[in-house]
Amino acid sequence: METYKKADLDAAGLRYDFVQDNQSASRKGVLRGLHFQKDHPQAKLVRVFSGEVFDVAVDLRKGSKTYGKWVGTCLSAENRRQLLIPRGFAHGFLVLSNFAEFTYKCDEVYHPEDEGGIAWNDPDIAVVWPDVGQIILSDKDKKNPTLAECQVEFQV
């Protein structure tokens, strides 16, 4: 299976120079996000190579007609779909299968001191997450502010 070909993205007008690959593994009910980097925003090309997740991107670009809106899709090893998340978007995912392995290409390196987040259940964004029973959050993600409380301002 071919999972990445720069020429295909270029042909679609999507010009990214990916500089880092990341991988994570999680069990059912784990919700990661909604994450972004404040001063070093990242575009991400995400996919699942084992299991299934519900993947979400939220537009954080002030002045965008889709500011504060979200898009979500199921990514799985079976459907082999990928999602491209542009700079200026928050990203998160919920594991639907018993176990999932998730990988993503980034066009900026990870800066831990630059990390930001928005509450996964922000009522103004109103992501409709699939029902998996108990949601499992990291201590960090439990403390994420709402979009209204967040001090990030990406430009269109």
Which pTM value belongs to this model? Answer: 0.93
Question: Is the pLDDT assigned to residue 1 strictly greater than 90?
Answer: no
- The full set of domains in the chain, from first to last, is 6-155 (2.60.120.10)
From the list 123, 148, 130, 147, the residue with the least C-alpha distance to 34 is 147
Is 57 buried (19+), middle (13-18) or exposed (0-12) by CB count in 10 A? buried
The residues annotated as belonging to the active site are 35, 104
Per residue in 80-127, pLDDT tens? Answer: 999 999 999 999 999 999 999 999 999 999 998 999 999 999 999 999
pLDDT of residue 100: 98
Whether residue 2 is predicted with pLDDT greater than 90 in this model: the reply is no
Instruction: Concatenate the DSSP letters of all residues of 74-112 into one string.
Output: EEETTT--EEEE-TTEEEEEEE-SSEEEEEEEESS---G
38/90 Cα distance (integer angstroms) = 10
Residue 135 clears pLDDT 90, i.e. is over it: yes
Which residues are bridge partners to 78 per DSSP? none
